Every structure is written in C-alpha cells, then in structure tokens.
Structure 1
C-alpha cells in the first residue's frame, strides 16, 4: 500500500495524524551517523505532532519547592546543581560524566513543562520516564536540548539516552518550523505529554515529536541533564508536572 493510501485509511479510521516521510536536504550532514543508530526510525513511518500545546496552568504541581532541592537526587557524574528562588542552575565540571538532577519519584502519565536557558553553551535536555541499572546511572527517553551553537535544529526531539540513540530526530521536511523554534538567547519552554505508549513534545509552543513506544519506558523519573563537556551552564525554572489519571 502506498503512503498516500495509508494516510487516507488512517484518516478514515479517525486518526488525526498522517504519516510523514521525507528527510529535508538540510539534514543530510547528519544522516550518515544517525540513520545507523539502533533506534533510528524510518522516515516514512514517523508520525507528526500537529496538536496545540496543552494548557499549562490548571492541576500542575511544582517540582522545585525550596533551595534544598527536596525530592531530587544527583545521578551520574559530579557536575553541580543549585537552586535559588525556584531557579535551578547546573554547572559542568570539565571531565565529569554526564550528570542528572533527578526526581526521587517516578511518573507514568503526565504533562511536564519547564523553561530552560543557557549561560554557557552545552548539550542538555530533560529525561522523562528515566531508569537506572548497574550499567547506566541514567538511561531512557530524553527531550533533547542540543544547545545554542548547534545548527542541526533537533531541540525538542526525543533521544534514547544510553539506549540506542534517536527515537525521534527532527529531520523531516515537516519539521522545518520546529527546527527554528529554539531561542538562542533567553528562556525556552519545554513541554512533554506522555500517556501510555504515546509521547508528544513542544518547544516554545511549536509541535515537535510524536513518538509511540513499545511499553518499555512507560514509567520513570525526570532528570535535568548537564552533559559531559569542557564547560557549560544551564538554568531551569517553572519546573512542574500534572499527573494524568483515568476518570
């Protein structure tokens, strides 16, 4: 069945998201590496997020409630995290492994949001439904925030941290708008919707990823990442979550 025919069938069945499919020529410099990754999707099988960003006020609970970062724990390396007046600052210690300020509590179905900005450029992101084992201090899905110097434009995509690479790279022609959504200066809003196997993301209100998992990562903790690097400083604020329950 041709892609056009599949799309018509999906729409007839009530699915609101058609299949995507074409890689943008601007993304060719990164195809050689990322198409070979274990989790790399086939472009023609990727779903598009065309939903408006969820409402972000009612029913949310702040995850940073004091400067002591009660309810959080550092995992991985020894880069530092501090909090003041609801703003979390992560500072890279050169040579340290990637470090994650992680919630002690696990979350399953939720809407998560926060704002991020860089004072010193570094690859970063927000882990969600993350897990730990003897081999990896932190692994699982991550809302990618690749930094302000990168020209790739995949902030808002979903990366499989320490578990096979990109699940949802923003490399399609359909992703042209979201690849330009990151603000190089100032705050950027991260939003994640997770319900069952379905995950959708937005950056600054612009739809990014629509990924459907296999159930492996349907529960876990949040983690703010400071990547292994020579330098870097990232700030987060307004970190909050709304847990979704069946009515």
Structure 2
C-alpha cells in the first residue's frame, strides 16, 4: 500500500474510533408499549403508555403515587421531557428507595422538582419523604425562568458521586453536594391532590433515557450556586 493511502486509512480509523468513544451510549428506560421493569408504589393514581408517552393522571383520595424502575442506579446522567398541567405539582425521583423499615415502604429520596406554580422551583432538588427541600431556587433567578408552562420541557439530571446537578431546557437549575444516598430507583410522580378541581389532571413524560457508562466524557459543568451539605 502506498504511504499516502496508508496515512488516509489510519486517519479514517482514528476518526471513527474517536467518534465511537465520544458518542454517548444512551439506554431508553421504556421498551415498546409496556411497563415491564417498572412498578407502581404507594398510591393508586393511574399511568398509561402510548406512542412512547407516559401519562400519569391525578386521583382524589390517594397519596403520592410513583411509577418506579425495578433497577437501581448509582452514577448516571438521566434525560427526559415532561409536560404538566399547570395546576398540579410533580417530580421525578432518582436515587430513591422504598423500605418497609422506613415509614412502612413510603418512597423516599431525591426528587427533581416539576413546579409549574408562580413559585417556579422547577429543577430544584427535594428529598421526598425525608428532609424536604435541599436545593430550592430562591437564589437562582435565572433557573426559575427555565421551565415553561403548557409545553414540553427537557430535563437533565446528573448524579456523579455526591455531586447532584440538574438542567431544565439547558439552564442549570440545581448544583448540590450531599452524601445521603448513593443508589436507588428512578420514579415518575403523580402528586396527591386536595380537591375535585385537580382530579384527572395529567403529567406526561417522553424520551426517558439514561447514561451509565463513560460519564466523565459527557458530564456538564454546573454553573448554578453550589450548596454543599457534606460534612
């Protein structure tokens, strides 16, 4: 083989290898039109799956309901899109658990907030069932403007060691260090409601995918104010 052709071939192989290394290996959390690998916990709100869209519907007289992965995840990057009726609250659990010894199986753990109210704390971090708010958006005015009502919103959740960070529509909304929970499931919340006017309201999720390998190559650097809860 001529030297010039050999050089071109080597460059092509190198470029192909680098591209393969850089392309993230996303894994969908839903396969087809089935909830296989997921379990409903705590409440009795309903979930349906059609054309890749999960729809949760509020129900009066039930506590918070969670559609949870059976698989546990430690370090990862999670992305999804969400649409929510602006009259109800929701969230996506991550590194969460449900133990009989803890409040008789109540779901507890980190939650990526979905808050369409005027408070606008979407993309904050709430610890469901335990400490409550760990990272609200009081000191992140830019982050409070990220979430848009009546449209699909893109979320990115990074869990890397004790460093947890969230982006909504490309804007960094939360930047937290905390040692509490290293592993757990992912769960889609249908929040409890207090009156009939909030019944049969919908929350929709789509394009739910997770990255668990080669995270360092794909992690974003948070720019939101850091809250450090580590000792």
Q: TM-score, normalised on structure 1?
A: 0.72
Equivalent runs, 1:1-247 vs 2, <5 Å: 58-119=24-85, 121-134=87-100, 135=103, 136-146=105-115, 148=116, 150-172=117-139, 175-214=140-179, 216-229=180-193, 230=195, 231=199, 232-244=201-213
Residue 14 of structure 2 corresponds to which residue in structure 1?
none
State the shift of 1:120 in Å. 6.2
User: Aligned to 1:199, what secondary structure does the other structure show?
Assistant: strand
- Residues 109 and 245, structure 1, Cα contact 8 Å, conserved in 2: no
State the shift of 1:246 in Å. 7.8
1:57-103 alpha-carbon deviations (Å, 9 max, x no partner) = 72100001122211111001000011011100000111111000000
Runs of 4+ deviating beyond 4 Å: none
State the shift of 1:127 in Å. 0.2
User: Aligned to 2:91, what secondary structure does the other structure show?
Assistant: strand
Q: Structure 1: where are the runs of 5+ without partners?
A: 1-56
State the shift of 1:121 in Å. 2.9
Larger Rg over CA atoms: 2
Distance between the aligned counterparts of 1:154 and 1:119, measured in 2?
15
- Residues 65 and 190, structure 2, Cα contact 8 Å, conserved in 1: yes
- Residues 63 and 240, structure 1, Cα contact 8 Å, conserved in 2: yes
- Residues 111 and 191, structure 1, Cα contact 8 Å, conserved in 2: yes
- Residues 74 and 101, structure 1, Cα contact 8 Å, conserved in 2: yes
Q: Structure 2: where are the runs of 5+ without partners?
A: 1-22, 217-231
**Paired residues, number:** 186
- Residues 156 and 208, structure 1, Cα contact 8 Å, conserved in 2: yes
Distance between the aligned counterparts of 1:178 and 1:241, measured in 2?
23
Q: TM-score, normalised on structure 2?
A: 0.77
Distance between the aligned counterparts of 1:86 and 1:180, measured in 2?
28
User: Aligned to 1:177, what secondary structure does the other structure show?
Assistant: helix
What is the RMSD of the two structures over their aligned residues, measured on CA atoms?
Answer: 1.5
